[in-house]
Amino acid sequence: MGDQNQQSRKATGVWALAASQHGVVTRRQLLELGLSAKAIKHRLARGRLHPVHQGVYAVGRPELTQKARWMAAVLACGPGAALSDESAAAPYGIREVRARRGIEVTVPPNQIRARPGIIVHRRTLLPAHVGEFDRIPVTSPAQTLVHLAGRLRFGQLEAAVNEADKLRLVDPETLRATLDQLPREVGIAPLRAMLDRHTFVLTRSELERRFLPLVRRAGLPLPLTGQCVNGFEVDFNWPNLGLVVETDGLRYHRTPAQQVRDRLRDQQHTAAGLTPLRFTHWQVAREASYVVATLKAVGRRLRKRLDEGSGPR
């Protein structure tokens, strides 16, 4: 009777552990629960355990959910392992699950462990940037975006950051600050460059100092600044041409209320017969040629309209 009770307790322990790990367990865990190597072999022969990876088994039935496959891959890679890269982006919802050679897992640099069906990355992960998703060890959203940045095109990376922000996983300002705390790796530079394009802000005086020479290069007269037009204060105004220029540089994402207000401004300027233009601070500071070309083209069109007698009055 004592042996039966002991076996029952062990079986209960195995099922409880499997339930907490999406139906998978490791050989080491089974041994720690008191099962012998012979007992494990017996359960494999009887179909109570099913091999998934070396030293990792599905309990009860061989079919695995996606979460079970993720958990099994992490368990197969040993202590300190975490789901990472696109395999971490999938459960967060940052990017769709895509067919790849295998599940991606990051392990400590000193760990030499290869597993069929698993893509192993050896990197240093700070404890603060490893968490859990439904009990599966996974890199943090910020760390995951860094890993993705090393392989995604600019537009894909921007979409991933947008999605992480929309899902309230990490906002771009927090993400940008986090990059300075992470160990150096390939994805940090492109991610920092992408974020800087959208969070870059000039002071009012610096903005004018950089923008006005671009106006001269475009062949336009100097604008009036800080004027109220159609009930809104505008950054730069050419009343004779009917041109107003606004510059954005407050945040990566403006709030919905700010976006509505921006559209309302542009709509009211257009309804009044004006031409509204909008540049970012980054464009003024780092994409001067584009700004000059745009101002030149718009200025040419507005002068032609004036010459034809249909300009602003």
Low-confidence ranges of the chain (pLDDT < 70): 1-5, 97-100, 112, 249-256, 310-313
Last residue of a domain, one of 198, 225, 243: 198
User: Does residue 210 sit in the same domain as residue 257?
Assistant: yes
Percent with pLDDT over 90 in the chain: 62
Q: Residue 311 has what pLDDT?
A: 59
Is 118 within a domain? yes
Q: Is the full-model pTM beyond 0.75?
A: no
Is 312 within a domain? no
Q: Residue 182 has what pLDDT?
A: 86
Is 313 within a domain? no
Is 184 within a domain? yes
Range of the domain at 53: 2-59
pLDDT in tens, 118-157: 999 999 999 999 999 999 999 999 999 999 999 999 889 9
Last residue of a domain, one of 59, 83, 99: 59
User: Does residue 71 sit in the same domain as residue 193?
Assistant: yes
- Long-range Cβ contact pairs of 15-22 (< 8 A, separation 24 or more): 15/59, 15/60, 18/59, 18/60, 20/135, 21/71, 21/75, 21/135, 22/64, 22/65, 22/67, 22/68, 22/70, 22/71, 22/134, 22/135, 22/136
User: Domain tally for the chain?
Assistant: 3
Last residue of a domain, one of 23, 40, 59: 59
Q: Quick check: 183 and 142 in contact, CB under 8 A? A: no
pLDDT in tens, 237-268: 999 999 999 987 655 555 667 777 888 889 99
Structural tokens at position 96: 């769709």
User: Does residue 33 sit in the same domain as residue 144?
Assistant: no
Q: Residue 310 has what pLDDT?
A: 61
DSSP secondary structure code for residue 62 in this structure? S
